[in-house]
Amino acid sequence: MFFKKLAEDTGTNARAGILYTDHGEIETPIFMPVGTVGSVKGIYHRDLKNDIDARIILGNTYHLYLRPGLQILKQAGGLHKFISWDRPMLTDSGGFQVFSLAENRKLTEEGCTFRSHIDGSKHIFTPENNVDTQRIIGADIIMALDECTPGDATHDYARKSLSLTKKWLERGIRHFDETEGLYGYRQHFFPIVQGCIYPDLRREAAEHAASFEREGYAIGGLSVGEPTEKMYEMIEVVHPILPEDKPRYLMGVGTPANILEGISRGIDMFDCVMPTRNGRNGMLFTWDGIINIRNRKWADDFSPIDIKGRSFVDKTYTKAYLRHMFIAGEMLAAQIASEHNTAFYLDLVREARKHIYAGDFSSWKNETVKRLETRL
């Protein structure tokens, strides 16, 4: 068994469960810190494990394929060994990164030809070699190659894009099932449900993906420019179609409020660069709301970064000190803020799990979302 559902909230579609992988168990709902090139920016692996207690992190196929490259990763015995991480990992296929290179890529039924953002060299991802690449990287959960359509795509463009994604999915699944992992543990393959903001296309994509009876399903192409309410609507469209006994992964989302709203709509897994990216720029997510730590008002505030926070940095550093570090241009500022935000996101999903088990998730979520969106 890959996923076991253990509890459901009576007022929403929220549920709690466990993902079983050969590198460890993952309680859901879960937030997965993004380690694009093999590191969660600014955070030691020691702190990811011992303080933040991240159960799973991400790597990105596009970036790892280009640098350090497949030869190095294979020689190292896979990404786990290369970066000294013994817990589960997930890799995105790199589709989002490739398709964001609008002027440097070309799509055909065969695959996607693109030029490296590093040196301009030419490469191609096909559904088959993308599986092979993720086999070499060695993540526990790997994604299908897809096209991520922009949030403002026309229905005609989104329909053609979905047709291509469906063909690629069929080829990717076939190749995955005909090959084996390289390092002696199981890998799991997730289709990605696309369809932009169009309910008919989302339903078509979800039905097609569900027909393959995979271990889990991702929902992609959201939080890419469409209104937030449209994102929630698309989750609600695919919810009754995707198998209830399999995990759902909402890719690249999002704010703390987005995550709680996603959980209430049946999502089990999330990832986003926001904790570290926004942290490096001085934005802190706390249980009382959002802080711009560069503001003058924090200069003589000697309270903890987050009074309700449970991480090492929350217990150790004050708002005044962290502001001083940012104003002084110290790299430690970005590290502290990134660790705080990542720890907060993990605490957020832990609290959500507790309230799902307790049976009061709906009321807790409604009250918490209002507080989390407050600008302090």
Q: Catalytic site residues?
A: 92, 271
Residues 6+ apart with CB under 8 A from 197: 151, 158, 226, 230, 233, 234
From the CA atom positions of the chain, what is the Rg in Å? 20
Q: Output the CA–CA distances (angstroms, integers) from residue 177 to 46, 192, 243, 250, in the order listed.
A: 35, 17, 20, 24
Instruction: Report how far residue 2's alpha carbon sits from residue 21's, in angstroms, rounded to the nearest whole number.
Output: 7
Contact of 220 with 93, CB cutoff 8 Å: no
- Residue environment code for 158-193, b if the CB has 16+ CB neighbours within 10 A, otherwise e: bbebbebbbebbebbbebbeeeebeeeeebbbbbbb
Q: What is the DSSP string of 104-146?
A: GEEE-SS-EEEE-TTT--EEEE-HHHHHHHHHHHT-SEEE---
Q: What number of CA atoms fall less than 13 Å from residue 173's CA on the CB side? A: 19
Cα pseudo-dihedral 59, 46, 73, 56, rounded to 10: -30
Angle, helix 228-238 to helix 256-264, in steps of 10 degrees: 30
CA 162 to chain CA centroid, Å, is 21
Summary count for the chain: helices (H), strands (E): 15, 17
Strands 248-250 and 89-92: unpaired
Q: Checking phi first, is residue 24 left (phi over 0); if not, alpha (psi -120 to 50) or beta?
A: left
Instruction: Report how far residue 303's alpha carbon sits from residue 68's, in angstroms, rounded to the nearest whole number.
Output: 42
Joined tokens for residue 10: 């009576």
Instruction: Report how far residue 254's alpha carbon sits from residue 199's, in angstroms, rounded to the nearest whole number.
Output: 21
